[in-house]
Structure 1
């Protein structure tokens, strides 16, 4: 296939999706959905433009950057970049978006070089990206440095591997049928609650988080960056407070999304020690996404993960009766959480590879 040097320009962040300069931003979201569909048949893994825009407009807590690749005026690829702002952050995270019809023309190479250039601009020495994979075998299977899980090689994984990226981790994408028999959820919740005992109680709320819970919720959200299994991926410890919780929730809710949170409070201390979030876009008939699920390291072994997941799924079935499935990602080495998922009816539908390169 002929190689043509694309023109690469920054992605404009519009004031609204109806603005005159919003076409590229809408195209970015559409392209992401197209590629998720091409790669694994799951377009809803990608956020809609409505979901994306608030986070790109308010960059108080993290930077978002984008680039558009064109040949003869036609969009042939894009890239989105996320940059954490914590003092100890060393990495940029990016998604390379080149559809099948334009792959192999040099566009992906140009965008990959742009990602590295952007890392240097922001004085970062680590690049991170993720590849999507179908749950099937192939002639060449890739095993991460964690040694947990494996994924079939794809053109994108071949590209980043050849450029010096290391496969650090494999994540499993699982789905739960929201219209299945809820009896296993109820049984698991009853058993786990009895096992946990009276030192733990369940709290439930619809976002926004009640003001009196924001500090505690901030603390458990911060633990996601340190307590969740991440292999050797270089993630900075995130700094959270009540104000950051409020900003995050304002961004989420301004796009019409709805969020249910179930948390576990440790009664003797009053601290929140586990949580689960379920999120759906303005279209309440679509796929539900699980955002965070975490049990603090110092409170593991009490079946709190089962409690927050089962309680929220049962709650969600009543809140959003027309949503079809819940989609979630978990590290393959996170066997305790995967065991919970499998026991209550989640099934694997795709996989993701986490790649990292030091520069």
Structure 2
């Protein structure tokens, strides 16, 4: 077997420069692997969308690795860590060209990212795998007991290296090429149910200055208020300055993002939000980023309000987008109930894996 050479990824300043070849290769290999594993082509990303967050590492550090054999790029991996000194976990992903899967490239990359995580003092590593909607025989059940996923070469790799499947998420899609009658009906009923203490607030990035602190606060609750099984989720500090950086990175990647939130009028706090984003190709798939209702305001149909209001708003913002794609934990029945009621259907699944490091 010829030697596998792994080097640190060169993060380019510009994507049209000679030094951007590795970055482009990583994105291409990752998209191909996602398509093969999930069985759909809805989940691809572009180098333009990803580069800003790799260039601005104020809040999270991104490290990349490139695998070569005979000088040819045959795989890549990344390690993402929060810069907060209290953080204990690391997120990783391994991707290999189909022709070289099983040749030892994937093992070499995984060992490299685990070694780096240990050097950074992290106590756990997490990774997400994609899986088709249809079963293929052998099925895996997470420790939460909610949902199942079929095996893939990547999931088999993680199992062999001591990773535990902690959670399953459902990827659902909603077609946008039809009237959103049910969405409008659900929104009207939810607003009436919530009552006068709650009002809808919406904006398209950049976030208005007077909303930045509230937006930061509700984003930070994603680490504590979203079901995550036994995954070690680090709390991250968000403030108005981080929201400005977040908005700038989205815009610099050519993306457009709409936020619909609910404000609790007696306190002036944002207590729920939903984000929809689309890439530079405004006729492409829309993706939902965050959706959350903070714990103390649940049971008032605020999740329905932010989801439905943002969907109706989105028809004017990106009328050429054919569908919305979203991920939700299988144990998060309240959100899945909302999705199903307005027409979302399963498209693929994701598995959340974790390994405790020695």
- Deviation for aligned residue 1:136: 1.6
How far apart, in 2, do the equivalents of 1:342 and 1:30 lie?
A: 32
SS at match of 1:45: coil
How far apart, in 1, do the equivalents of 2:281 and 2:87 lie?
A: 35
Per mean C-alpha deviation after superposition, the further-off stretch among 130-139 and 64-73 is: 130-139
Q: Gaps spanning 5+ residues in structure 2: where?
A: none
Residue in structure 2 matching 1:163, options 134, 141, 161: 161
How far apart, in 2, do the equivalents of 1:243 and 1:118 lie?
A: 29
Per mean C-alpha deviation after superposition, the further-off stretch among 216-225 and 79-88 is: 79-88
SS at match of 1:285: coil
- The residue aligned with 1:247 is 245
- The residue aligned with 1:19 is 17
How far apart, in 1, do the equivalents of 2:261 and 2:59 lie?
A: 24
- The residue aligned with 1:277 is 275
- The residue aligned with 1:102 is 100
Q: Gaps spanning 5+ residues in structure 1: where?
A: none
- Deviation for aligned residue 1:163: 0.9
- Deviation for aligned residue 1:42: 2.9
Contact 2:6 2:68 survives alignment (8 Å): yes
- Deviation for aligned residue 1:271: 0.3
Within a 5 Å distance, the mapping from 1:30-179 to structure 2 comes to: 30-179=28-177
What is the total number of aligned residue pairs between the two structures? 357
TM-score (normalised: structure 2):
0.98
SS at match of 2:137: coil
How far apart, in 1, do the equivalents of 2:81 and 2:42 lie?
A: 23
For residues 99-124 of structure 1, what are the alpha-carbon distances to aligned partners after superposition, in whole Å with 9 as ceiling and x for unaligned?
32111100011011011111012111
SS at match of 1:133: strand
Contact 1:11 1:65 survives alignment (8 Å): yes
How far apart, in 2, do the equivalents of 1:345 and 1:195 lie?
A: 21
- Deviation for aligned residue 1:326: 0.8
- The residue aligned with 1:297 is 295
- Deviation for aligned residue 1:139: 2.4
Structure 1 residues 291 and 241: CA distance shift in structure 2, 3 A: same
SS at match of 1:15: coil
For residues 164-205 of structure 1, what are the alpha-carbon distances to aligned partners after superposition, in whole Å with 9 as ceiling and x for unaligned?
100000000011111122100000000000000100000010
How far apart, in 1, do the equivalents of 2:121 and 2:168 lie?
A: 27
- Deviation for aligned residue 1:46: 3.0
Per mean C-alpha deviation after superposition, the further-off stretch among 331-340 and 39-48 is: 39-48
SS at match of 2:165: strand
Residue in structure 2 matching 1:357, options 347, 350, 355: 355
SS at match of 1:147: coil
Poorly superposed stretches of 4+, deviation over 6 Å? none
Alignment root-mean-square deviation, CA: 0.9
